[in-house]
C-alpha cells in the first residue's frame, strides 16, 4: 500500500521533532536539483531549523551545475551569519509569536539565552506584522517578504520577563 503524507503532516512532525529534540541537528537530503521551488525548499528548511545539506551532487557533479540551489544556499548562509541565534538557538516553534498573517507568513522562533530570532518566510510573498511576546521590540514589526524569500527578525528578552530554565 502506497500512502502519501501531506506537507502539513510532515511540517507538524518536523516541528514536533525540533521542539522535543532541539539539540539534534538534522539536515534535508531531498533537495537534489534546480527545480523552480528550490528557494522555497531551502527557506522552509531554515524555518523549521533543518541544516542544508549539499549532498545532491556528491557523486554526480558539482553544486556549480545548480545555480538556483547555489544562490538559495548562499542567501541562507548569509542570513545564518548575520543572525547566529538561528543556528545556536533552541527551536521554539511559534511560541510567543503574534503573526497578523499566519496563512501567508510562516514564522518560527529560535531562542538562545537573552536573544531570539524569528525566521519569517512566504511561498508567494506576503505582508504583515510580527511581534514576540515578552521580547524587545515589544511593538509589532511591519514586514514584507517576497516570493520564496526569508527574513530574520532579532529580539532581546524584556528585562522584566522571567528567564527560561
Q: In the chain, which residue ranges form alpha helices assigned H by DSSP?
A: 7-20, 38-47, 67-82, 85-88
Given 85, 104, 125, the domain boundary residue is: 85
Given 85, 105, 130, the domain boundary residue is: 85
Cell 514564522 -> residue: 107
Q: Is the same domain home to 79 and 53? A: yes
Tell me the β-bridge partners of 27. Answer: 51
**Ramachandran class of 140: left when φ > 0, alpha when ψ lies in -120 to 50, beta otherwise:** beta
Structural domain includes residue 79: yes
Q: What is the pLDDT of residue 57?
A: 47
Q: What is the pTM of this model?
A: 0.73
**Over its length of 165 residues, how does the chain's per-residue pLDDT go in tens digits?**
445 666 666 666 666 665 665 555 555 556 656 677 777 777 777 777 776 655 544 556 677 777 888 888 888 889 889 999 988 888 899 999 999 999 999 999 999 999 999 999 998 999 999 999 989 987 789 999 999 899 999 999 977 765 554
Q: What is the pLDDT of residue 103?
A: 93
Q: Is the same domain home to 57 and 81? A: yes
Across the chain, the runs of DSSP E, i.e. the strands, are 27-28, 51-52, 90-91, 97-99, 106-112, 115-122, 126-132, 135-136, 141-145, 149-157
Tell me the β-bridge partners of 14. Answer: none
Q: Is the same domain home to 139 and 101? A: yes
DSSP character at residue 138: -
Q: What is the pLDDT of residue 1?
A: 47
CB 65 within 8 A of CB 136: no
Amino acid at each position: 500500500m502506497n500512502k502519501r503524507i501531506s506537507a502539513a503532516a510532515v511540517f507538524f512532525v518536523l516541528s514536533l521533532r525540533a521542539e522535543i529534540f532541539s539539540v539534534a541537528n538534522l539536515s534535508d537530503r531531498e533537495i537534489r536539483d534546480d527545480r523552480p521551488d528550490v528557494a522555497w525548499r531551502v527557506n522552509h528548511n531554515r524555518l523549521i531549523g533543518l541544516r542544508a545539506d549539499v549532498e545532491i551532487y556528491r557523486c554526480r557533479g558539482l553544486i556549480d551545475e545548480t545555480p538556483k540551489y547555489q544562490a538559495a544556499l548562499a542567501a541562507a548562509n548569509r542570513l545564518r551569519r548575520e543572525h547566529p541565534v538561528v543556528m545556536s538557538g533552541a527551536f521554539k516553534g511559534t511560541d510567543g509569536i503574534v503573526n497578523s498573517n499566519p496563512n501567508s507568513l510562516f514564522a518560527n522562533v529560535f531562542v538562545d539565552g537573552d536573544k531570539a530570532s524569528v525566521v519569517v518566510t512566504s511561498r508567494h510573498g506576503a505582508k504583515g506584522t510580527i511581534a514576540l511576546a515578552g521580547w524587545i521590540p515589544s511593538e509589532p514589526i511591519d514586514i514584507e517578504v517576497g516570493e520564496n524569500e526569508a527574513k530574520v527578525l532579532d529580539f532581546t528578552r524584556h528585562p522584566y520577563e522571567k528567564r527560561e530554565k
